[in-house]
Amino acid sequence: MESRIPNGGHWWERWWGVLLLGLMVLVVVVVLGFGFIVGYYFWQIKQGKGGEIVKMLNEKNPFSQENSEVKKKREELELADSPFLGNPKADLVIVEFIDFKCPNCLAEDPIIRKVAQKYWSKVKIIVRDFPAESLHPGASELALLASCAHAQGKYWALHDIFFANQVQLSESLSEDKIKGLLDQAGVDFNQVKQCLSGSQVQMRVNRDYATGFKYGVQGTPTFFINGVKTQGVISGEAWDKFLGEL
């Protein structure tokens, strides 16, 4: 039986029916469009488009544009108390926002470590936290633990343990599991418990996330090279081409 409204005619033939259909179509278009944009963004990251972006940045040479706005941005990104690799006085500073549970960060990690070793005198590589809890449940807890390890001078040891065990890390870690990971990195468990009981470590991770969000971080890894943003898994070849010409 056909759906009709009183006084004859289909509901979709009335003005309000046409308006309702139009709104429904608009909602579907917006949702599909947003899904496409997000999907394409993460496809770019997975495909390693970051290397192409670095190449583009190198050709445009934006790193000499040190105006007051860029200087302020770099001051917020390149915090002195963040863990880093390389030369603390290097002219070229790379800030990487990471998520310990992000597969793309895991893929980039051995690459960036080789970059730090190879270009030790040329670069300072700062690491900051951007735990995407909605995508990677438990990432915030790892960021907090790493920050507490940093207070003991053991950040990089725990950093490496987390990435080495990424696949096995559950959404919520038991106390025994945490203690086992900390022991492997040589981190004092009791000091970490005390660290986690305070508000400072949470503020530190929140600060990193807020700074990344402010400057357009949407996924990890995302890099800022002297304040210039690029994102995704960047190949060793791309880094060599970029840094070798400096």
Identify residue 222 by its one-letter amino acid code. T
**What pLDDT, in 10s, does the model give residues 167-211?**
999 888 999 999 999 999 999 999 999 999 999 999 999 999 999
% of the chain surpassing 90 pLDDT: 68
**Which residue in this structure is represented by tokens 């029916």?**
17
At the fourth CATH level, which superfamily is domain 49-244? Glutaredoxin (3.40.30.10)
149 φ/ψ angles, rounded to the nearest 5 degrees: -65, -35
Q: Is the pLDDT of residue 99 over 70?
A: yes
Between CA 234 and CA 175 the distance in angstroms is 35
Residue 131, judged by CB atoms within 10 A of its CB (0-12, 13-18, 19+), counts as: buried
Q: Which segment, 9-18, 207-216, 237-246, is predicted with the most confidence on average?
A: 207-216
Q: What is the pLDDT of residue 34?
A: 47
Q: Is the pLDDT of residue 119 over 70?
A: yes
**What pLDDT, in 10s, does the model give residues 42-67?**
445 444 555 555 555 555 555 555 68
**What pLDDT, in 10s, does the model give residues 1-47?**
444 545 556 655 666 666 776 677 676 665 555 445 444 444 454 44
Q: What is the pLDDT of residue 65?
A: 58
Q: Where are the domains of the chain?
A: 1-46, 49-244
Query: What band does 244 get if pLDDT is binned at 50, 70 and 90?
Result: confident
